[in-house]
Structure 1
C-alpha cells in the first residue's frame, strides 16, 4: 500500500528566528526583507503574531495595527536554507522517495511496491523504532503501513527537536495520496499529526471542510463553483463529470477527483526532476500609469510568483533579468495601431529562492532602465 507523508514546518522563517534567538520565543515576530522592504511587506509571521490576525504578505503598517507589540526581524535566507538541508538529512534516513515542495514543505513515500524501495523503507522504519525505543509491529486494530508511518512521523518530530531545535515544530499529514496527505497536515496546526487512512475517513473529512481548504481550489475556482450552485464537497460530488468539463475544461476532471479524494499525481524525488534553465512571469497593465507604488506592487507580486516556483522545484537562481515593453498608439506605423518599445537588463546576486531578495534585485534594475521622469507603463 502507498503511504504518503506531508511535512510542513509551522511559521518556518519566524520559528527559525525564534530558535536562533531565545529572547524572541513566545513573542509575536514578523520577518521582513531587506532595508527597502522593512516598512512595507511582512515576509513571515510567527504563531504568536498570527493569533492577532497577522498574516504573511501583509503590509507592515497593517501588522502593527493588529499587533502593536510585533517584533520585526530581518530575514536570513542562508539560515533558512541551512535549516532545510539539516531537516532533509533527517528525512533521508527513512526513504529515498522525497519530494521537496518548497523550502519548508515536502512529501515522503514510505512503502513503494518496487522491491528495493520497499526494503529501504522497512529498514528505515526498523531503525527509527530501534532508536526511539518502539517495539516493531503495529498496535492491535491498526493497518501495519499507516501505524508504522505514524510512529515514524512521531520520531521525525522528536529528531527535529533534538537535532535542529526544540522551538521548531512541523505538522504532518499521512494518507494514501499526496492530495489527502497535504489536507491531513493542514487540519491540525501547529505541531499536528493527522492520519487519513481510507476512503471512508476521506469522505468524512471532505464533508466537514470548505471547498478552498483543499490544495487546488483557490478563490477564483471557488467563486466559479459557487456560481454553479456548488458550495461544498457533497454538492461537488453530485455534479456530473460532463458539466464540470464543460465549465472548467480539463480541470473539471481534477475537481471531480478531488471531491472523491482521488489523486494520481506521482511523488517526484528531487533527483528525478528535469533540468530547468530559467523561470519567469510577466504582467500586462491594462492602463497607463506613472505611479511607482503601483509598479512596485506588481513587481513584488511577480517576484513572489517566481520564488514560489523555484521553491516548488527545489531550485535557486542567481541571475535576475527584468524586461519591460511600452505600447504607443501610432496607427500610421503599425497595422494594429500600436508600436512597442522596451528595454531590459540583468544582474547577478547570490543564489536564492526568496521572493523579497528577487524583488530587491529587480527593483534596482528597474531604476536603472526606467527614467523616473514622466514614467509610464
Structure 2
C-alpha cells in the first residue's frame, strides 16, 4: 500500500461536514430526514435570518443569510428551528474524536471542518480507502454526512472538498490545478472573499488562472503580502503543515495589569477594565476574530486570584461590548476587597467569516455598517496613539500602574484549555 503514497510529498485530507447544524438536528430527530430544514435566529419573527439549511431546503433556493420571510416564500413547508449550540459543540467534539482515531495529525479549523495529515498512514489503506472509511464512519456512528478533499497540501484539499457536496470525495493533484482550477472564477477560490475579488477585477484578474499568472508588483500593491500568498495558492503551492495545536493559537486573547497600589475604588477599577477591554477589542479585530466568552481576572492584595467568565448570546468584537460583559462580572463577583491586579480576556475566539450571529436582518445590517467606523478608529489609535479617540473619563497612569499596556496572559488560558481537553 505504500506505493499509493508519494515518496517525498504529503497526503492531506480536508473533512468538511455538510450543512452541519441542520444535519445535527436531523441526527437527533430522524423524522426530519429528507425534509427541508433550516436553522435560523429569531424564528418567531419575519425578520430572522437563515444560519444554515439542509440540501432539501437548498433545492428550493433557500440560502444562508437569507431573510426568513424570503426563505418561507420560496419553501412554504420549510421546517425552521432555533440553533442549539451546545448540541452542535458536542457533535463537533465527537466528530474530531473520530478523526483522531486515524491520525494524531488533526487540525480543527472550525466547529465543522478540519485537516488530517495521513502521509504515514499507509498501513490503514490507500488515501481513498481512508477517506471513504472516515465518511462512512461519520455517517454510521454520528449520522452526519461530510465531503472530503484529498490533495498534496491544505489549500488543494480545501478546494477539493468543496467540489462535491453532499457526501463527496474528490482527489485534486498538482497536475489538476491548470485544467480544473484555473478556469474557475477567482471569487470561488478559498481565501478570496467578495471584496478581494472586486479588487482583483480592477487589475483584470477574473479567474484563478489570471491570478496564477498575475504581476507580482501589482498584486503586492493591491493586496500587500496576501497578494503573493494568493498567487502561490493559485499555482497550487501551499507549504503549511497540519498543526494540531494551531486552533489553540487564538483560543483566547487577554490583557492584564498590576495596579500601582491596591484599590477598592469601584470607579478606578471600572476605568482599568475599560482600558483593558479596549486593548483586547483592538487585538481581536486585527485578527478578524470574534469572542463568545469574556473572562475577568481579579487578584487581591493577598495574591488570591479569581477568574469568572460570561458566555455571550452572540459573538462580539466591540470594545464597549467586551467592557460591558467584564463590568457585569465585576459587579456580580467583587465583594469590595482591595484589588492588586485586573485582567480581561476574550475567550472561545472564532474567525469572523465563520461566525453567524443570531440577529434579525435589521440588526445584522446595523452591525455591518459599524465595521468601517471601527476600522478607522483602530487605524487612528495605531497611528497617533490610543488616546486620540476616547470615551468617558481618562484614567491616570498612576492608577494603571507601571505596566501601562498590560501583559498578555493568553498562554495561561491555553494551558487551562489543554487541561480541560
Q: TM-score, normalised by structure 1?
A: 0.66
Contact 1:8 1:106 in 2 (8 A): yes
Measured in 2, the distance between the counterparts of 1:278 and 1:109 equals 28
Q: Secondary structure at the match of 1:209?
A: coil
Question: Is the 2:41–2:359 contact (alpha carbons within 8 Å) kept by the matching residues of 1?
Answer: no
How much has 1:14 moved relative to structure 2? 0.6
Structure 2 counterpart of 1:171, from 119, 142, 147: 147
Distance of 1:72 and 1:160 partners within structure 2: 25
Using the alignment, how far apart are the partners of 1:189 and 1:182 within structure 2? 13
- The yes-or-no answer on 1:97 pairing with 2:105 is yes
Q: Is 1:344–2:320 an aligned residue pair?
A: no
Q: Distance in 2 between matches of 1:273 and 1:52?
A: 39
CA contact (8 A) 2:232 2:238 kept: yes
Say whether residues 1:67 and 2:75 are aligned partners.
Answer: yes
Alignment of 1:220 with 2:204, yes or no, is no
1:241 match: 216
CA 1:234–1:122: 2 relative to 1, 3 Å:
closer
Q: Which residue in 2 is equivalent to 1:156?
A: 134
**Is 1:323–1:345's contact at 8 Å kept on the other side of the alignment?**
no
- Aligned with 1:89: secondary structure? helix
Matched residues in 2 for 1:253 and 1:64: separation?
A: 43
Residue 269 (structure 1) shift: 0.6
Residue 306 of structure 1 corresponds to which residue in structure 2? 290
Instruction: Check if 1:204 corresponds to 2:179.
Output: yes
Change beyond 3 A, Cα 1:274–1:194: same
Q: Closer, same or farther in 2 for the Cα pair 1:230/1:35, shift >3 Å?
A: closer
Alpha-carbon deviation of 1:21?
1.2
Mapped partners of 2:215, 2:47: distance in 1: 50
| In structure 2, C-alpha distance between the alignment counterparts of 1:209 and 1:256, rounded to whole Å | 14
Aligned to 1:258: 233
The change in CA–CA distance for 1:256 and 1:35 in structure 2 (over 3 A counts) is closer
In the other structure, the counterpart of 1:46 is: 54
Cα distance change of structure 1 residues 84 and 262 upon mapping to structure 2, 3 Å threshold: same
| 1:310-338 CA distance string (max 9 Å, x none) | 9xxxxxx844486449xxxxxxxxxxxxx
For structure 2, which runs of at least 5 residues remain unmatched after alignment?
Answer: 1-8, 255-284, 295-308, 330-346, 364-421
Q: Give the superposition deviation at 1:8.
A: 0.5
Contact 2:293 2:348 in 1 (8 A): no
What is the CA-CA distance between 1:100 and the residue it aligns to? Answer: 0.4
Q: Quick one: which of 34, 55, 66 aligns to 1:58?
A: 66
What pairs with 1:359-374 in structure 2 (closer than 5 Å)? none
1:59/1:278 Cα in 2 relative to 1: closer, same or farther (>3 Å)? farther
The Cα shift of 1:251 comes to: 1.5
User: Is the 1:102–1:308 Cα contact (8 Å) retained in structure 2?
Assistant: no
Aligned residue for 1:52, secondary structure, equals coil
Out of 162, 166, 169, the residue aligned to residue 190 of structure 1 is 166
Residue 107 of structure 2 contacts residue 242 of structure 2 at CA under 8 Å; is this kept in 1? yes
User: Cα gap change, 1:32/1:152 in structure 2, threshold over 3 Å: closer, same or farther?
Assistant: same
SS in 2 for 1:257: helix
Task: Give how far 1:23 is off.
Answer: 1.9
Q: CA RMSD in A?
A: 3.4
SS state at 1:254 partner: helix
Question: What is the match of residue 23 of structure 1?
Answer: 31
* 1:32 has 2:10 as partner: no
CA shift in 2, pair 1:186/1:271, >3 Å: closer
1:180 and 2:156 are equivalent in the alignment:
yes
Contact 1:318 1:352 in 2 (8 A): no
Q: Within 2, Cα distance between the matches of 1:261 and 1:308?
A: 35
Per-residue CA deviations over 1:187-242 (Å, capped at 9, x if unaligned) read 11111000012x22121111232111111111111111111111112322332212
State the Cα deviation string for residues 55-83 of structure 1 (Å, max 9, x = none). Answer: 12222112112211111112211211111
